[in-house]
Structure 1
Amino acid sequence: MSRRKKLINNTDIPQHKIEAIARCIMPDILAFYESEEGQREFAEWKKRREAEKQKDKTE
């Protein structure tokens, strides 16, 4: 039997409302990252992140 990850909600927003919003926007998020534009932006983000890591290591 698998355990569910304990959710951390440090807001006054009820968890069920957060989950409802997430269910509404998740298909759009997935569609964006499956698109060419989304994949290109994600690749650019990964490059910037890697460059920042390298910069932090040299400092």
Structure 2
Amino acid sequence: MTKKRKKPYDLDIPEYQLESLARVLLPIMQDYLASEEGQKDYEEWQKSQLNKQKNKEKEPH
């Protein structure tokens, strides 16, 4: 019998609880991201991710 390998992000939360949480959070997140504020925040997040990537590429190896 093989042992199930634990993932580093595994929080020992039962699957049914994760699904319940997702059912509650997903519509809230979708509404937020569809809003003007959410669009602005998402755009800022994308820019920050791009800057992080550029800075990482500039670092000497």
TM range, normalised to the smaller chain? 0.7 to 0.9
Tell me which stretches of 4 or more aligned residues in structure 1 moved more than 6 Å.
Answer: none
1:17-56 paired onto structure 2 within 5 Å: 17-56=17-56
Q: TM-score, normalised by structure 1?
A: 0.79
> C-alpha distance in 2, partners of 1:49/1:12?
29
Q: TM-score, normalised by structure 2?
A: 0.77
> C-alpha distance in 2, partners of 1:10/1:41?
28
Structure 2 gaps of 5+ residues are 1-6
Equivalent residue number for residue 13 of structure 1: 13
Name the count of aligned residue pairs.
52
Shift of 1:46: 0.4
The amino acid that maps onto 1:47 is: K
Larger Rg: 2
Structure 1 gaps of 5+ residues are 1-7
> RMSD in angstroms over aligned alpha carbons?
1.5
Among all aligned residue pairs of Structure 1 and Structure 2, give the percentage whose two residues are the same amino acid: 31
